[in-house]
C-alpha cells in the first residue's frame, strides 16, 4: 500500500509539473519515456529470471494449481470484453489491454502509454490501482460468498505481494501458496499479454 502511494505520488507530481506549464520546452518526453520503458522491461526481466520462486513454483505443485491463473486470465478478459457492450467508445482491444494488467498498474500503464496512447495509459493506471484497492477492501466478502479462490482471482497479479496478507488471512495459509503462484504467473504474463493484445494485427 505504501509503495502504491509513492508511485501515485510520482504520477501526481508529473501531472502538476505538466499543468504548471513551466517545463523546459524542446525535450521529447515521449521518446524519453520509450527508453525508460526499455530499461523497465530489462529490469523486470532480471527480477523474474533471478527469482528462484519463479521457477520453483512451476515444478513443485500439482497440476490443479495451474488452473487458477488460467481461470483468472479467462475471467478477466471475458469481463473486459463485456465492458465494451456497456461503453461502446472503448474498442475490444483497448478494453482487453487494460484488463490484462491484472492489477499490475505500474508496468501495464507504462506499456499502454508507449504502445497505444496517453489516455488509455491513464485508464490502465486508474483501473489497475482500483483492482488492487477493491481486492484489499472486498476480499473478506468475496471469500465468504465465492469460495477461497475469490480473493486470489480478484487480486490478480497483486496476489503475490500487496494483497497477499488479506488473502492469507481470509482464505487460509494453504491458499497463500496458491496466491503467490498465481500472482507470479500473472505478473510474468502482463508484459507479454499487453504487448500481444495491442500489437496483434487482426
Partner 1 sequence: MITILVVLSAGILFGLLIVGKPKWHLFNNHLLNWAIYLLLFLLGISVGTNREVIQNIGKIGYEAIAISIISIAGSVLLSAILFKFLFKQDEK
Q: Which of residues 59-78 bind partner 1 (CB under 8 A)?
A: 64, 67-68, 71-72, 74-78
Q: From CA 4, how far away is CA 162, in angstroms rounded?
A: 9
- Residue 149 interacts with partner 1 (CB under 8 A): yes or no: yes
22 SS3 class: coil
CB of 57 to partner 1, least distance (A): 14
CB of 78 to partner 1, least distance (A): 5
CB of 165 to partner 1, least distance (A): 18
- Residue 87 interacts with partner 1 (CB under 8 A): yes or no: yes
Site for partner 1 in 158-187 (CB under 8 A): none
CB of 168 to partner 1, least distance (A): 16
Q: CA triplet 32, 187, 137: central angle to 5 degrees?
A: 105
Q: From CA 78, how far away is CA 122, in angstroms rounded?
A: 21
Of 18 and 165, CB closest to partner 1 = 18
Direct distance between the N- and C-terminal alpha carbons of the chain, in angstroms, rounded to an integer: 38
Nearest to 116 by CA among 136, 95, 130: 95
Q: C-alpha 101: how far from its chain's center?
A: 3
Nearest to 166 by CA among 138, 146, 185, 187: 138
Q: How many chain residues interact with partner 1 (CB under 8 A)?
A: 95
- Residue 116 interacts with partner 1 (CB under 8 A): yes or no: no
Site for partner 1 in 129-148 (CB under 8 A): 130-131, 134-135, 138, 142, 146-148
- Residue 128 interacts with partner 1 (CB under 8 A): yes or no: yes
170 SS3 class: helix
Q: Which of 1, 10, 58, 137 binds partner 1 (CB under 8 A)?
A: 10
Q: Which three cell numbers stand for residue 175?
A: 491458499
Q: Which of 6, 26, 59, 88 binds partner 1 (CB under 8 A)?
A: 6
Of 74 and 165, CB closest to partner 1 = 74
Are residues 156 and 130 in contact, defined by beta-carbon separation less than 8 angstroms?
Answer: no
Amino acid at each position: 500500500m505504501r509503495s502504491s502511494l509513492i508511485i501515485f505520488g510520482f504520477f501526481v507530481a508529473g501531472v502538476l509539473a505538466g499543468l504548471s506549464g513551466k517545463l523546459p520546452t524542446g525535450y521529447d518526453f515521449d521518446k524519453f519515456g520509450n527508453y525508460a520503458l526499455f530499461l523497465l522491461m530489462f529490469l523486470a526481466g532480471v527480477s523474474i529470471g533471478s527469482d528462484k520462486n519463479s521457477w520453483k513454483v512451476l515444478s513443485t505443485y500439482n497440476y490443479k494449481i495451474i488452473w487458477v491463473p488460467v481461470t483468472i486470465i479467462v475471467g478477466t478478459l471475458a469481463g473486459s470484453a463485456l465492458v465494451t457492450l456497456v461503453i461502446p467508445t472503448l474498442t475490444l482491444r483497448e478494453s482487453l489491454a487494460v484488463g490484462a494488467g491484472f492489477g499490475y498498474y505500474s508496468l501495464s500503464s507504462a506499456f499502454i502509454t508507449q504502445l497505444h496512447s496517453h489516455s488509455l495509459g491513464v485508464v490502465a493506471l486508474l483501473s489497475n490501482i482500483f483492482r488492487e484497492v477493491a481486492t484489499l477492501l472486498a476480499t473478506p466478502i468475496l471469500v465468504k460468498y465465492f469460495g477461497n479462490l475469490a480473493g486470489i482471482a480478484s487480486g490478480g497479479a497483486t496476489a503475490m505481494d500487496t494483497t497477499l496478507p488479506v488473502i492469507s488471512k481470509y482464505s487460509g495459509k494453504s491458499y497463500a501458496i496458491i496466491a503467490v503462484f498465481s500472482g507470479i504467473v500473472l505478473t510474468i504474463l502482463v508484459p507479454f499479454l499487453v504487448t500481444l493484445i495491442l500489437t496483434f494485427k487482426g
